[in-house]
């Protein structure tokens, strides 16, 4: 049984040391070894095992090449639920449950981690994991601020880690198809694109209540400003932290990593960003939540392209590109176009073929082995969320933001520039 | 510990030495102080006039003198060393007529020239500061005050005191380069002359830097230099803010009593100035007592024009200016003192007061340059006030930095024809005085600077009265100009968001709008469990506030935060706001919170990224007042802020017992990225558990040093950190750094890494190869390919493919022929990306091989890009002797949709190999057209091979949908000549063409017998339109059961085809099929067809069939479907514009609407789909909630199929918010289209609610 917990990393090291398989190619095809061979086991830990975290964890547990050995959450109920799930899957009691993610990262036997935490925790955990030499599947959006996102990119690049963001729409055939049609000029030159994201909500004032004994509230807050415990909605802080600026930017930043991400993919904008951002949001005033409920902002790119991002009462949910010869609209419900003929178009082999992943988590695992870029690499995630975060800054300041996508700096507006990063509550540091 | 000593202090020491200050005198014993190339420059003992030719110099042997070669035409020479602020002594000698120059920082030239005897020296004479050059025009050249030149052949001297341009932390220029003093042969020829950028022929004409080398020009003529002594100067003391300003007023033909308080407020509110006002006695009163102490002030702002000042006051003012004073001339102040010569020189241009041509020229901007206009006439005029546009003429001057090229100024007097000495001006902005606005038709100077002796003058012609002072353009240039006049610097680099644009004036109307007393008091008692209304209101206010109001809000926030009653929640929220709007003014209150356990992190929230330097100082200062977690927080904020001044205090904390503290300190130091912090990170002795973090910090620091250009330093550190004693991930990152630092020089390192026995490093090497930029790197890697073992080759080829650089193509093509299967396959796949037409032949050969390799080659050929790929494929098709390769290229050409290969397919269609022939036919079917049809048809007639015939038939069928029915004539004609087998095949393709001619042929053959009759009827059954309906109905009566089935099914199918006819008609046609159907199956087919035409009649038919037990089940199903369709199909709409919201017109909600989104135009349309056919009497369009948006004119069309519309059934004009479309006779239709025929520039066409009345 010891062999099944032998991580891929350990195995490769051993074989290399023995000189037995020292010459096998770096780009290891997954077929080289049998699916269950120990060398193919990717040993993983899971940080954050609430609703999204359990979704990802279950996905990984069903991959034969993965061995999950550790889970971590500051909510005891989540932690124990995750441990039980893992143990049931493997039929043993071996999964270690951690309270502090630093202990999980520093185990020394992991190949990769998956994280599914509130946005304000993304940077600290991701940077620490990258510095520990781990590959990372991280939930979108990449980070709560643009500077944090850049810090994650830097650490991932520096240590040549494999990164995949949970922007799984890129692994869905009809999204890829839509982007390929746009990329290959099937609607002509595109000068305008609309991105529709869900609409937010509000919640009245909430009294302070005692912290439940299963939750480490101080750790949950971590680097975010302190606040007394209350019910965010649904009797817990989970999930509905999304509507409070200290932890998230609302539907806008939640979905930026999906639909703005797709809009960028269709236009080959994964390595750049807008140059001007201007817009308005309706900020709730009646109680606990403070992220915009409705919002609409316009981004201009250096090429003259314009993107309007708004909640789905103002523009249709999804990404909709308008070209000289028609439009294409894609969302989770499907794909449509100004003319059905466009949708029947064949993309020739000598035209642009986009990265083809049919199974998001599998793509991550394949890349952990091949060391290739995943379908949603870290730089792409940074560029997708930057649009949402710049929109947020434009709406908070109420003025047009000019942006240099090369240097990732706001031009000529030091006060707005102060919103690109955030100070952390002690003792957390990035 | 070993690792640390490897990164010993010696490396760092070398790097640090390079940055150190060097000796004063440049010894001219050799060229060790100079950059290469040194060209013809030579060392000599002396330089004298050439005895034969006094335009040349002769060298005497020895050392200490440098001559630019025998002819005086070689390259310019630059020192290795770079300097900023310096004093320079240099000696030079020129022969007759020669020319050279001394360029401070390689950018700013003092001219060296044989100017001996020139009476009126220009900037191009010896000692001149040479002109700048842009858009083929010169500007800003500065003449020496006097000509101090000696004769050719004599040694001369320059003594220069020079200040380099200054930049703020963001890299913006805050002060121009400045010649404080230039002495030529001991005589002062320039004092306090600024240059706004590099002069002509500088090494760097387009950028300015804090330091640069000394450059001597060597390509303009013979020259020799000696005794070059260059000494760095101590930095100039930074000005003390707030600056002291004095406004002088008391008399003015303008409204000085109102404007002075506004100017004072503008200056004071900026935070940069304190202001006193000196007011003269009224006009005609004695001036004797008017003697302000000018020397107390950094700058004097003149809002004065009136009686002469006492001579002593004038003298004191001149002395103040000569000693480095600053003066701002505001609007009518340039009317003052026409007879005070020094004043006229200071203001450079003035108006009125009897000024005329005797006072000097007018200054104009014509044809891209400033020109002096000496034509006679009075000085000073302006037309009526109007809004006018300023054009920035020098965006490199800090006063103008970041301002738009053009911007509107609020309604003002446009001062024109100003006259004066016009000396030593730098023109910043002009305005065009349009003739139709009573102007001169000239671009008139509006903003400019002047220097005179030691004084700096900023002159703004704008600002007639208080109304004009609200213009943001005036305010910004006035504040910046006043700071510049006071200090020579402009630190107000921010351009406010409300700055005017090229076509929009922007006024600060809220400038004086005080916030109400008690503003923000609610925050003091706000708590986490309250609603946020009061807070949200302030957040909204902040979004809209102009800067002056913002400062008042800030003050109110600080006041609330320092209120002893203020809650923790209130203070938290204020800190959040101060993160957005906080300035130096908030710092003391925030700093006080840094020691507060509960609020320290919120104070840092505001301070960490605050632009004001005070924020950084407050954080540093707080280090001494805190410990534990609070101190950790402050250390990390200082790190993220990049507050390098904190390094000395933070470095010792690395050794803290508190591990979190030590970690924070190490991380903070890594952000400072300079030699000193690098050294501290390397040398401090740390416990083992901090090694990883320290290594990461060193790498972070080194990466930043590399970004700053310290390549050698970074390379050394990286190289040492690749040692095996380091953890593998540190080594990996070090290799990555090495690759970035060394670029293609790192190729051997990376190739070795590919062979490393550590997998992580080998995996990373492939990544590095993919990421390393440049074709040189590609070539270097490619050159290594064939010397590597096969497994390593595979990695390298895949990495070269990721690079995508075609420079690797040939090496990869060679690998594609490797005996090692995995190498060959990887290379073949890579050729798809890296290859071109040149590799088609090779790939085609490989494609003929069995298995994966062959498939990979086909795939690669399909994906190849670039010119001529298709041509190369055709060449293989026609030239290769390998049939499998020929078939493969046909498939590839099909996939590539290579319509230009059709000719080749025709040739290949008679290939000796059957598989090639059939592939070629298939290709013709996919890519061929009308031209190929006769040939294909002919081939079919001639074919004696049924496989060939079938391939040709398929090809024609595939091609036909792209052709016209008339093209079917070829087939019709061929049928007549065809044998039986060919006839059947040709009849089979007829329905793909359709048309009457083809139908006639089908009918004719249907009259025949046997297989031919069957083929003809089958053709009609597949007809694309209902034309053969009757033929099929009759044929269905045939006794032959097969023919009966074919014909009847064809009849039902054709009935069901989309046609512009009412469903009731279709129902009747289908009903006819029921009695002739012989079997239940056929009747069921009729019932199934009925469901596509839901209406009363089809429902009747289906219900009638219920009686037949054999049909009951089908009939029930059909009737159900029809009913469902009739009931559930709903009204829907489409529109020519804003189609997504067309449904808003149908939702019965008057608050939502469909709209054109712009003024209505003829041709806009809105179409209703009734979902089923109906008879409509009336449609009402209601747009009462957008009362003007009714259609000005309309036409209404109807249709059954939504595509054929015919003539309008109704036309009319709208004239009120409710438009009623009443049809003269009720219309029977499924679709109704309303087309706009009117237009309106402003009003959209909208429909809030649409209602329909049916018969």
CB pair distance less than 8 Å for B863 and A398:
no
Is A332 part of the contact surface with chain B (CB cutoff 8 Å)? no
| Residue B517, pLDDT score | 78
Tokens at A425, concatenated: 């509550």
| Residue A246, pLDDT score | 97
Residue A223 predicted with pLDDT over 50: yes
| Chain B: closest CA distance from residue A366 (Å) | 14
Q: What is the average per-residue pLDDT within B931-940? A: 92
| Residue A14, pLDDT score | 42
At residue A326, φ and ψ (nearest 5 deg) are 145, -170
HEC letters along B731-758: HHHHHHHHHHHHHHHHHHHHHHHHCCCC
**What are the angstrom distances between the C-alpha of B1247 and each of A297, B302, B1145?**
26, 62, 5
DSSP letter assigned to residue B1065: H
Q: What is the pLDDT of residues B1170-1221, one digit of tens each?
A: 877 878 888 999 988 777 789 999 999 999 988 889 899 999 998 888 999 9
| Residue A202, pLDDT score | 87
Residue in B532, B792, B865 nearest the CB of A290: B532
DSSP letter assigned to residue B233: P
| Residue A5, pLDDT score | 43
| Residue A371, pLDDT score | 83
CA-closest candidate to residue A354, choices A188, A178, A186, A153: A178
CB pair distance less than 8 Å for A131 and B758:
no
How far is residue A307's CA from residue B243's CA, in Å, rounded to a whole number? 46
Is A336 part of the contact surface with chain B (CB cutoff 8 Å)? no
| Residue A11, pLDDT score | 46
In the three-class reduction of DSSP (H, G, I as helix; E, B as strand; rest coil), residue B628 is classed as helix
CA-closest candidate to residue B882, choices B853, B843, B832: B843
B660 neighbourhood in chain A, CB within 8 Å:
427
Q: What is the DSSP string of B897-965?
A: T-GGGHHHHHHHTT-SSHHHHHHHHHHHHHH--GGGHHHHHHHHHH---HHHHHHHHHHHHHHGGGS-G
CB pair distance less than 8 Å for A159 and B542:
no
Residue A56 predicted with pLDDT over 80: yes
What is the arrangement of strands in the sheet containing B108-113, beginning at the earlier edge strand? B77-78, B215-216, B99-104, B108-113
Q: How confident is the model at residue A13 (pLDDT cuts 50, 70, 90)?
A: very low
CA-closest candidate to residue A163, choices A383, A331, A415, A376: A376
Q: What is the DSSP string of A184-209?
A: TTTT-SEEEEEEEE------------
Q: What is the average per-residue pLDDT within B172-180? A: 95
How far is residue B145's CA from residue B1187's CA, in Å, rounded to a whole number? 74
Q: What is the pLDDT of residues B522-565, one digit of tens each?
A: 999 999 999 888 999 999 989 888 777 888 899 999 999 999 99
Between helix B256-269 and helix B472-487 the angle, nearest 10°, is: 70
Q: What is the average per-residue pLDDT within A244-271? A: 96
Residue B410 predicted with pLDDT over 70: yes
| Residue B627, pLDDT score | 93
Q: What is the average per-residue pLDDT within A171-179? A: 95
CB pair distance less than 8 Å for A284 and B536:
yes
| Residue B513, pLDDT score | 56
How far is residue A384's CA from residue B808's CA, in Å, rounded to a whole number? 33
B614 neighbourhood in chain A, CB within 8 Å:
none
- Average pLDDT over all residues of chain B: 91
| Chain B: closest CA distance from residue A217 (Å) | 15
How far is residue B858's CA from residue B1198's CA, in Å, rounded to a whole number? 54
Q: Which of residues 88-107 of A touch B (CB under 8 A)?
A: none
Residue A19 predicted with pLDDT over 50: no
Q: Are B1218 and B1249 in contact (CB under 8 A)?
A: no
| Residue B679, pLDDT score | 85
Q: What is the pLDDT of residues A184-196, one digit of tens each?
A: 999 999 999 999 9
Is A25 part of the contact surface with chain B (CB cutoff 8 Å)? yes
Residue in B760, B789, B862 nearest the CB of A350: B862
Position with higher pLDDT, B507 vs B182 = B182
Is A26 part of the contact surface with chain B (CB cutoff 8 Å)? yes
Mutate to test the interface with A, among B633, B662, B666, B840 (most CBs of A within 10 A): B633
Q: What is the average per-residue pLDDT within B897-907? A: 92
| Chain B: closest CA distance from residue A26 (Å) | 5
Direct distance between the N- and C-terminal alpha carbons of chain B, in angstroms, rounded to an integer: 97
Position with higher pLDDT, B1224 vs A299 = A299
DSSP letter assigned to residue A330: E
Q: What is the pLDDT of residues B93-147, one digit of tens each?
A: 999 999 999 999 999 999 999 999 999 999 999 999 999 998 889 999 999 999 9
Residue B794 predicted with pLDDT over 80: yes
Residue B995 predicted with pLDDT over 80: yes
Direct distance between the N- and C-terminal alpha carbons of chain A, in angstroms, rounded to an integer: 39
CA-closest candidate to residue B464, choices B658, B334, B594: B334
**Residues pairing with B246 in the sheet:** B276, B300
Q: Are B127 and B109 in contact (CB under 8 A)?
A: no
Tokens at B384, concatenated: 């009526």
**pTM of the model as a whole:** 0.62
Residue B307 predicted with pLDDT over 80: yes
Q: Which of residues 360-399 of A touch B (CB under 8 A)?
A: 371-372, 396-399
Residue in B533, B609, B791 nearest the CB of A25: B791
Q: Are B398 and B177 in contact (CB under 8 A)?
A: no
B709: left (phi over 0), alpha (psi -120 to 50) or beta: left
Residue A23 predicted with pLDDT over 60: no
Q: What is the dihedral of CA B485, B488, B494, B500, to 10 degrees?
A: 40
How far is residue B42's CA from residue B29's CA, in Å, rounded to a whole number? 10
Q: What is the pLDDT of residues B714-743, one digit of tens each?
A: 999 999 999 988 888 889 899 999 999 998
**Residue whose pair of structure tokens reads 């503008």 in the numeric block:** B266
Tell me the torsion sign for CA atoms B748, B750, B753, B754. negative
In the three-class reduction of DSSP (H, G, I as helix; E, B as strand; rest coil), residue B1119 is classed as helix
| Residue A7, pLDDT score | 55
CB pair distance less than 8 Å for A423 and B660:
no
| Residue B206, pLDDT score | 87
Residue in A353, A412, A421 nearest the CB of B640: A421
| Residue B510, pLDDT score | 54
Tokens at B497, concatenated: 């968001």
Percentage above 70 pLDDT, chain B: 97
Residue B232 predicted with pLDDT over 70: yes
Q: What is the average per-residue pLDDT within B965-976? A: 92
Q: What is the average per-residue pLDDT within B656-661? A: 93
Residue B925, number of CB atoms within 10 A of its CB = 23
Q: Are B688 and B704 in contact (CB under 8 A)?
A: no
CB pair distance less than 8 Å for B494 and A412:
yes
CB pair distance less than 8 Å for B607 and A423:
yes
| Residue B771, pLDDT score | 81
Q: What is the pLDDT of residues B254-268, one digit of tens each?
A: 999 999 999 999 998
Between helix B9-18 and helix B711-721 the angle, nearest 10°, is: 170
| Chain B: closest CA distance from residue A88 (Å) | 33
Residue in B535, B601, B792 nearest the CB of A425: B601
Is A59 part of the contact surface with chain B (CB cutoff 8 Å)? no
**What are the angstrom distances between the C-alpha of B809 and each of B448, B631, B838?**
60, 58, 10
B864 neighbourhood in chain A, CB within 8 Å:
350
How far is residue A31's CA from residue B513's CA, in Å, rounded to a whole number? 74
Residue A8 predicted with pLDDT over 60: no
Percentage above 90 pLDDT, chain B: 72
Q: What is the pLDDT of residues A88-125, one digit of tens each?
A: 999 999 999 999 999 999 998 999 999 999 999 999 99
Highest mean pLDDT pick, A18-32, B176-190, B754-768:
B176-190
Nearest 5°: the CA angle A45, A46, A51 is 165
| Chain B: closest CA distance from residue A155 (Å) | 9
CB pair distance less than 8 Å for A350 and B767:
no
Residue B928, number of CB atoms within 10 A of its CB = 26
CA-closest candidate to residue B487, choices B328, B266, B260: B328
Q: Are A423 and B634 in contact (CB under 8 A)?
A: no
Q: Are A44 and A67 in contact (CB under 8 A)?
A: yes
Q: What is the DSSP string of B961-1007?
A: GGS-GGGGHHHHHHHHH--HHHHHHHHHHHHHH-SHHHHHHHHHHHT
| Chain B: closest CA distance from residue A19 (Å) | 8
CB pair distance less than 8 Å for B536 and A430:
no
Residue B18 predicted with pLDDT over 60: no
CB pair distance less than 8 Å for A418 and B542:
no
Q: Provide CB contacts within 8 A for B1117, sequence distance 6+.
A: B1087
How far is residue B479's CA from residue B487's CA, in Å, rounded to a whole number? 12
Residue in A12, A285, A424 nearest the CB of B536: A285
Q: What is the average per-residue pLDDT within B813-827? A: 94
| Residue B1127, pLDDT score | 58
Q: What is the average per-residue pLDDT within B441-454? A: 96
């Amino acid at each position: 049984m010891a062999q099944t917990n032998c991580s891929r990393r350990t195995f490769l090291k051993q074989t290399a040391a023995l000189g037995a398989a020292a010459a096998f190619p770096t780009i290891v095809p997954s077929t080289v070894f049998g699916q269950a061979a120990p060398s193919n086991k990717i040993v993983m830990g899971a940080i954050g095992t609430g609703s999204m975290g359990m979704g990802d964890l279950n996905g990984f547990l069903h991959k034969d090449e993965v061995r999950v050995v550790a889970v971590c959450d500051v909510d005891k109920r989540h932690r124990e639920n995750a441990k039980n799930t893992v143990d049931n899957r493997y039929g043993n009691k071996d999964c270690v449950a951690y309270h502090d993610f630093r202990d999980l990262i520093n185990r020394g036997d992991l190949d990769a981690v998956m994280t599914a935490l509130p946005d304000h925790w993304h940077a600290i955990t991701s940077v620490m994991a990258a510095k520990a030499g781990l590959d990372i599947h991280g939930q979108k959006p990449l980070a709560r601020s643009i500077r944090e996102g850049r810090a994650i990119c830097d650490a991932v690049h520096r240590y040549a880690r494999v990164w995949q963001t949970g922007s799984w729409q890129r692994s869905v055939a009809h999204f890829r198809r839509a982007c390929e049609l746009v990329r290959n000029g099937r609607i002509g030159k595109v000068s305008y694109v609309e991105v529709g994201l869900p609409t937010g909500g509000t919640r009245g004032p909430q009294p302070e209540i005692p912290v439940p004994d299963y939750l480490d509230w101080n750790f949950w807050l971590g680097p975010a400003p302190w606040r007394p415990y209350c019910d965010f909605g649904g009797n817990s802080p989970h999930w509905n932290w999304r509507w409070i600026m200290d932890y998230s930017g609302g539907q806008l930043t939640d979905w930026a990593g999906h639909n703005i991400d797709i809009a960028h993919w269709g236009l080959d904008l994964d390595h750049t960003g807008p140059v001007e951002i201007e817009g308005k949001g309706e900020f709730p005033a009646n109680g606990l939540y403070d992220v915009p409920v409705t919002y609409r902002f316009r981004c201009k790119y250096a090429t003259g392209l314009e993107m309007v991002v708004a909640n789905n009462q103002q523009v249709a949910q999804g990404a909709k590109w308008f070209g000289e010869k028609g439009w294409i609209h894609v969302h989770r419900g499907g794909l449509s176009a100004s003319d059905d003929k466009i949708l029947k178009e064949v993309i020739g082999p000598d035209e642009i073929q986009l990265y083809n992943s049919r199974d998001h988590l599998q793509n991550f695992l394949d890349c952990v082995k091949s060391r290739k870029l995943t379908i949603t690499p870290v730089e792409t995630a940074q560029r997708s969320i930057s649009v949402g975060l710049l929109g947020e800054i434009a709406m908070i300041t109420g003025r047009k933001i000019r942006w240099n996508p090369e240097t990732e700096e706001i031009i000529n507006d030091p006060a707005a520039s102060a919103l690109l990063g955030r100070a952390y509550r002690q003792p957390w540091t990035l | 510990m070993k690792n640390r000593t490897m990164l010993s202090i010696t490396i760092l020491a070398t790097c640090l030495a390079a940055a150190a200050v060097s000796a004063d005198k440049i010894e001219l014993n050799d060229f060790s102080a100079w950059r290469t190339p040194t060209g013809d420059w030579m060392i000599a003992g002396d330089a004298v006039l050439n005895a034969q030719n006094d335009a040349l110099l002769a060298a005497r042997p020895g050392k200490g003198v440098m001559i630019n070669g025998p002819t005086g035409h070689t390259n310019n020479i630059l020192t290795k060393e770079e300097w900023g602020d310096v004093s320079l002594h240099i000696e030079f000698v020129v022969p007759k007529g020669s020319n050279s120059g001394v360029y401070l920082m390689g950018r700013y030239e003092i001219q060296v020239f044989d100017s001996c005897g020139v009476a009126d020296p220009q900037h191009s004479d010896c000692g001149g500061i040479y002109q700048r050059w842009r858009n083929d025009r010169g500007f800003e050249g500065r003449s020496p005050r006097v000509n101090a030149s000696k004769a050719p052949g004599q040694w001369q001297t320059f003594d220069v005191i020079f200040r380099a341009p200054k930049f703020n932390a963001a890299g913006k220029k805050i002060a121009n380069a400045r010649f404080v003093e230039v002495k030529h042969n001991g005589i002062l020829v320039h004092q306090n002359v600024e240059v706004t950028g590099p002069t002509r022929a500088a090494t760097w004409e387009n950028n300015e830097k804090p330091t640069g080398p000394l450059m001597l020009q060597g390509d303009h003529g013979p020259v020799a230099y000696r005794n070059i002594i260059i000494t760095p100067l101590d930095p100039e003391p930074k000005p003390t803010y707030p600056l002291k300003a004095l406004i002088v007023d008391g008399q003015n033909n303008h409204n000085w009593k109102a404007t002075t308080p506004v100017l004072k407020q503008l200056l004071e509110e900026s935070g940069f100035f304190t202001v006193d006002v000196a007011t003269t006695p009224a006009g005609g009163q004695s001036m004797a007592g008017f003697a302000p102490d000018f020397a107390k002030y950094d700058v004097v702002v003149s809002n004065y024009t009136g009686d002469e000042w006492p001579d002593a006051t004038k003298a004191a003012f001149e002395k103040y200016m000569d000693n480095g004073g600053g003066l701002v001339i505001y609007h009518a102040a340039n009317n003052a003192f026409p007879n005070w010569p020094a004043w006229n020189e200071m203001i450079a241009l003035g108006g009125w007061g009897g000024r005329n041509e005797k006072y000097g020229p007018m200054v104009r901007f014509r044809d891209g340059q400033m020109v002096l206009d000496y034509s006679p006439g009075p000085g000073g005029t302006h037309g009526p006030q109007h809004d006018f546009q300023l054009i920035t003429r020098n965006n490199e001057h800090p006063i103008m930095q970041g301002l738009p090229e053009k911007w509107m100024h609020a309604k003002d007097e446009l001062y024109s024809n100003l006259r004066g000495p016009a000396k030593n001006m730098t023109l910043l902005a002009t305005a065009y005085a349009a003739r139709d606005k009573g102007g001169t038709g000239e671009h008139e100077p509006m903003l400019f600077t002047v220097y005179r002796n030691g004084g700096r003058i900023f002159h703004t012609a704008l600002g007639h009265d208080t109304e004009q002072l609200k213009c943001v353009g005036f305010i910004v240039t006035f504040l910046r100009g006043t700071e510049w006049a006071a200090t020579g610097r402009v630190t107000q680099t921010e351009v406010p968001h409300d700055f005017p644009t090229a076509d929009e004036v922007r006024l600060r109307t809220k400038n004086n709008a005080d916030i109400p007393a008690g503003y923000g008091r609610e925050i003091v008692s706000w708590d986490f469990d309250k609603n946020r209304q009061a807070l949200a209101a302030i957040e909204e206010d902040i979004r809209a506030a102009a800067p002056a109001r913002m400062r008042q809000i800030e003050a109110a926030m600080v006041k609330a935060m320092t209120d002893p009653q203020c809650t923790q929640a209130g203070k938290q929220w204020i800190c959040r706001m101060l993160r957005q709007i906080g300035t130096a003014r908030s710092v003391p209150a925030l700093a006080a919170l840094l020691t507060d356990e509960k609020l320290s992190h919120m104070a840092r929230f505001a301070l960490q990224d605050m632009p004001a330097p005070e924020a950084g100082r407050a954080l540093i200062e707080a280090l001494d007042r805190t410990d534990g977690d609070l101190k950790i927080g402050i250390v990390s904020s200082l790190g993220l802020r990049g507050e390098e001044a904190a390094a000395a205090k933070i470095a010792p904390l690395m050794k803290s017992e508190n591990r979190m503290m030590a970690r924070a300190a190490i991380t903070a130091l890594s952000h400072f990225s300079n030699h000193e912090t690098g050294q501290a990170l390397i040398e401090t002795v740390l416990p083992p558990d901090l090694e990883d973090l320290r290594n990461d910090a060193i790498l972070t620091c080194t990466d930043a040093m590399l970004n700053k250009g310290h390549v050698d330093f970074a390379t050394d550190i990286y190289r040492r950190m690749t040692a095996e004693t380091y953890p593998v991930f540190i080594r990996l990152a070090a290799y990555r750094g090495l690759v970035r630092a060394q670029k293609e020089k790192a190729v051997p390192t990376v190739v070795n890494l590919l062979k490393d026995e550590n997998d992580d490093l080998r995996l990373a090497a492939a990544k590095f190869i993919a990421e390393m930029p440049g074709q040189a790197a590609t070539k270097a890697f490619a050159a290594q390919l064939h010397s590597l073992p096969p497994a390593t080759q595979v990695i390298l080829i895949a990495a070269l493919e990721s690079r995508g650089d075609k420079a690797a193509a040939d090496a990869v093509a060679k690998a594609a022929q490797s005996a090692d299967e995995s190498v060959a396959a990887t290379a073949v796949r890579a050729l798809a990306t890296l290859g071109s037409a040149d590799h088609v032949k090779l790939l085609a050969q490989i494609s003929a091989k069995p298995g994966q390799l062959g498939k990979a080659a086909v795939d690669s050929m399909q994906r190849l890009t670039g010119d001529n790929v298709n041509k190369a494929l055709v060449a293989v098709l026609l030239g290769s002797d390998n049939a499998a390769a020929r078939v493969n290229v046909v498939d590839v050409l099909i996939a590539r949709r290579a319509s230009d290969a059709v000719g080749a397919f025709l040739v290949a269609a008679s290939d000796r190999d059957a598989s090639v022939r059939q592939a070629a036919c298939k290709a013709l079917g996919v890519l061929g057209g009308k031209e190929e049809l006769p040939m294909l048809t002919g081939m079919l007639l001639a074919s004696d091979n049924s496989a060939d015939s079938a391939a040709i038939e398929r090809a024609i069928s595939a091609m036909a949908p792209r052709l016209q029915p008339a093209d079917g004539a070829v087939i019709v004609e061929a049928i007549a000549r065809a044998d039986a087998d060919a006839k059947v095949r040709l009849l089979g393709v007829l329905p793909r063409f359709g048309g009457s001619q083809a139908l006639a042929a089908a009918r004719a053959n249907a009259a025949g017998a046997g297989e031919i009759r069957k083929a003809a009827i089958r053709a009609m059954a597949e007809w694309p339109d209902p034309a053969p309906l009757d033929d099929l109905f009759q044929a269905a009566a045939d006794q032959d059961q097969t023919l009966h089935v074919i014909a009847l099914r064809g009849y039902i199918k054709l009935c069901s085809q989309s046609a512009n006819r009412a469903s009731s008609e279709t129902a009747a046609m289908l009903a006819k099929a029921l009695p002739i159907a012989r079997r239940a199956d056929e009747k069921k087919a009729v019932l199934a067809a009925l469901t596509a035409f839901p209406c009363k009649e089809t429902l009747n038919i289906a219900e009638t069939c219920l009686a037949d037990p054999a049909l009951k089940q089908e009939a029930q199903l059909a009737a159900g479907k029809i009913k469902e369709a009739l009931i559930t199909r709903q009204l829907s709409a489409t529109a020519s514009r804003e189609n997504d919201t067309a449904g808003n017109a149908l939702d019965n909600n008057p608050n939502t609407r469909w709209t054109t989104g712009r003024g209505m135009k003829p041709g806009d349309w809105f179409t209703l789909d009734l979902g089923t056919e109906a008879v409509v009497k009336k449609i009402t369009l209601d747009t009462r909630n957008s009362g003007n948006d009714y259609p000005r004119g309309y036409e209404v069309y109807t249709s059954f199929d939504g595509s054929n519309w015919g003539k309008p059934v109704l036309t009319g004009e709208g004239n009120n918010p409710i438009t009623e479309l009443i049809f003269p006779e009720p219309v029977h239709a499924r679709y109704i289209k309303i087309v706009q025929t009117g237009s309106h520039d402003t009003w959209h066409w909208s429909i809030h609610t649409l209602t329909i009345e049916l018969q």
